[in-house]
Amino acid sequence: MARKQRSLNQVKEDISVRVLREKLPREWVVHSYGADYGIDCVVEFFDFIDEDKNIAETLGENFFVQLKSSDCIEYATRKAYGRGNVAKGALIEDKDDCVEIPVAKFQLDMSDILTIQSIGIAIPVLLVLIDTNSERAFFLCLNDYIDKVLIPEDPSYASKGSKTIYIPTANEILDTEDALVALRAYGKRSKMYGAFALFNYQLKEIFRMQGKIASPHFIPLAQATEMIKTFVDISLRQDIWTGHEFWKPVLWSHSELLTLKEKLSRGVKPEDHEQFLIYCSDYIWHRLTNLSNMYEELVREWFMPTYLATLTSYPPKESEEVNS
């Protein structure tokens, strides 16, 4: 009787899991899935809470991983052209405006692509590709790639057996603060979408108090002020305000909410009631709800193999900092 054997694929899988764990911060946890139905593991974020870094607590943030490995990855360059916002219409490229992006190419089965597409966009699924020769690891958010690259460039993609995925080699997983920015942003995504829905609800209720929408609900100043206080407190409790130092609009809105909270503590005069509600709706909550628009147009294109991503995703190189 033959002894138990291991296939080359099993060896590669073990290497890829080991490399991924080694590339991530030691306090993060990689939870492996059992059967492979498109998701191989979940990365859960923890942060140390003591100076000696002996105790870490969960942040309630994570992302899914589809883990792939190869010992013969094809490295190439991909031409990326200036283009319009593909969330608003068909792909229109400016062939006179082009950059070349170094990429790692990987052929992904259509069944995997369709499975990930069905998950939606609130829970990020990252394709992590391990080069088993160099033990480099690269990531790409497949949810965003499907919407921002694959569908605009090939609307009939679903009829294909597989598609070539282009992963920017700048998307290398390293245990450094700059390199972890992307992963931290993906881990916070579900919290962001929850906050976006909340801000939209609050704005609609403020509009109702102002009589700006159907079924208006006019209420006395004291009741309106109390409602705004409640909205501010609930908004500030959302766990989105830290860890976004790389995306300034979040910091601005956080500061504006704190300023509004301080204004409310001093009280609102009856003669200022109307202007106060205008300030809340047209400034504070307009900017809060606009975060979701910016997220769709800009953030979801971060770290993609696209022209816009090259301008917005990565810290400036040392030579660029010196020249500036």
pLDDT tens for each residue of 177-211: 889 999 999 999 999 999 999 999 999 999 999 98
Q: Where are the domains of the chain?
A: 7-171, 189-297
319 pLDDT above the threshold of 80: no
pLDDT of residue 177: 87
Residue 218: pLDDT band (50, 70, 90) is confident
pLDDT tens by residue, 64-114: 999 999 999 999 999 999 999 999 999 999 999 999 999 999 999 999 999
146 pLDDT above the threshold of 60: yes
* Largest pairwise CA distance in the chain: 91
* Rounded Cα distance, 68 and 298, in Å: 27
Q: Give the percent of the chain with pLDDT over 70.
A: 93
pTM for the full model? Answer: 0.90
pLDDT of residue 120: 94
Residue type at position 308 = L
Residue 306: pLDDT band (50, 70, 90) is very high
Contacts of 265 by beta carbon, 8 Å cutoff, 6+ apart: none
* 125-113-151 Cα angle (round to 5): 100
Range 263-275 average pLDDT: 92
170 pLDDT above the threshold of 50: yes
pLDDT of residue 240: 95
10 pLDDT above the threshold of 70: no
Between these two residues, 64 and 16, which has the higher pLDDT value? 64
Between these two residues, 19 and 10, which has the higher pLDDT value? 19
pLDDT of residue 324: 43
pLDDT of residue 11: 63
* 126-12-20 Cα angle (round to 5): 40
pLDDT of residue 318: 54
pLDDT of residue 219: 82
The pLDDT mean for the chain works out to: 91
Range 144-165 average pLDDT: 96
3-state SS string over the chain?
Answer: CCCCCCCHHHHHHHHHHHHHHHHCCCCCEEEECCCCCCCCEEEEEEEECCCCCCCEEEEEEEEEEEEEEECCCEEEEEEEEEECCCCCCCCCEEEEEEEEEEEEEEEEEHHHHHHHHHHCCCCCEEEEEEECCCCEEEEEEHHHHHHHHHHHHCCCHHHCCEEEEEEECCCECCCCHHHHHHHHHHHCHHHHHHHHHHHHHHHHHHHHHHCCCCCCCCCCHHHHHHHHHHHHHHHHHCCCCCCCCCCHHHHHHHHHHHHHHHHHHHCCCHHHHHHHHHHHHHHHHHHHHHHHHHHHHCHHHCCCCCHHHHHHCCCCCHHHHHHC
3 pLDDT above the threshold of 80: no
322 pLDDT above the threshold of 50: no
Residue 321: pLDDT band (50, 70, 90) is very low
pLDDT of residue 316: 75
pLDDT tens by residue, 228-241: 999 999 999 999 99
